[in-house]
Amino acid sequence: MKAVIIKRAIYEEGSCLTLQFEYNRELIDLVKKVEGMRWDSIGRCWYVQDGKDMLAKLFRLFKGVAFLDYSNLKQKESLLHEEVKDERIIPDDITGVLAAEEEEAIASLRRWMYHCRYSQSTVANYSAALITFLKFIKPKKAKDVKEGDVIFFVDDYILRNRMSYAYQNQLLSALKLFYGEIYKTTLDIGKLKRPRREHRLPNVLGKEEVESILKAPLNLKHRMMLVLIYGCGLRRGELLNLEISHVDRVRKLLIIRQAKGMKDRVVPLSDRMLERIREYQEAYKPAVWLFEGQGKGSKYSEASLQEVFKQALRKAGINKPATLHWLRHSYATHLLEAGTDLRYIQELLGHKSSKTTEIYTHVSIRSIQNIRSPFDELDL
């Protein structure tokens, strides 16, 4: 029987139950039925706000389908009834409470980050990481933190809960800003070692798979959104932030404003793509945003776009754990396989460094397929 591991963790919503399991479509469909359930792309788990009967709801939901391993919760509950010498060794739901001056310090950092034009997602992620850290180190106060407290948190919280490299790196970046800009402290975050960088290959779909996904939606708007993501190599947010004026029909360009890293860039639009966009605009007549939500002039939501892609996957019969970003990866890889120079692909994707773009050379089949294994030379 399939296993689901349940733990507790702190998110912006407060104490939450996290669910981790190997990819399984049946389990994912069940999880989505829980009201308030969300996916944490950094921690690679599902989470839902903890409540009086949430654990019981999960047991009823997975009954006969999966085994729920909640031993971590039971172990942590037992700590509450034992004398613990180090007060900082606390359960995963982190019971510490921030002092008023600490809350104000985090609010000051948010204001400073907004002033420096950090993205909303970065501000939110840094704030959440800091809140978790400061609650974990209680009863120690934020102003008294030393390097050893950070190491303790990494070892006893991040590593113990098998959280990702990205979360650990994000925490160190948040601490560096927090103590450098707000407390002006001598805490030397720079001495703390960054985790060794993970080298993961991008996930790429075959051209036939992409074609089946793009053909799947019957709704013209849904199909057009997926077509633009693949056809122009867009990120999810870049698509949703497109305005009507960003389609330059004269120069045949799509203008992407203030994307990741606050960078503008342009992507070429073919006559075929421009015709598709024209047909879509005539049918839906958007007022401001190229893709509007239910209300006139409102932006299409990220959650709705995700659902469009999931439905397209199901209809196309693709069982891979694909995300919208796979379409962007596929765009870059297919360009490379068609002979497009890597420097142009870097510009089209908006990568700051060519090293980021070079990852696609590792998944391109253009050269790999010409390599013959020595096995093929054997007379067997």
Known catalytic residues? 235, 260, 325, 328, 351, 360
CA atoms within 13 A on the CB side of 233: 23
* Alpha carbons within 13 A on the beta-carbon side of 139: 3
CB 90 within 8 A of CB 96: yes
Residues in a beta bridge with 7: 18
How do strand 2-11 and strand 66-69 relate by DSSP bridges?
parallel
Angle at 271 between CA 266 and CA 272, to 5 degrees: 110
Spatial contact of 137 and 151, defined as CB atoms under 8 Å apart:
no
Spatial distance between the Cα atoms of 55 and 61, rounded to a whole number of angstroms? 10
Rounded to whole angstroms, the Cα distance separating 161 from 20 reads 11
Q: List phi, psi (to 5°) of 130.
A: -65, -40
Residue written as token pair 């397209």: 312
Task: Give the 3-state secondary structure of residue 375.
Answer: helix
The maximal CA–CA distance of the chain, rounded, in angstroms, is 77
Cα–Cα nearest to 12, from 34, 32, 33, 42: 42
The CA angle 169-327-287, to the nearest 5 degrees, is: 100
Residues linked to residue 90 through DSSP beta bridges, in sequence order: none
Taking the alpha carbons of 109, 126, 303, 334 in that order, is the dihedral positive or negative?
positive
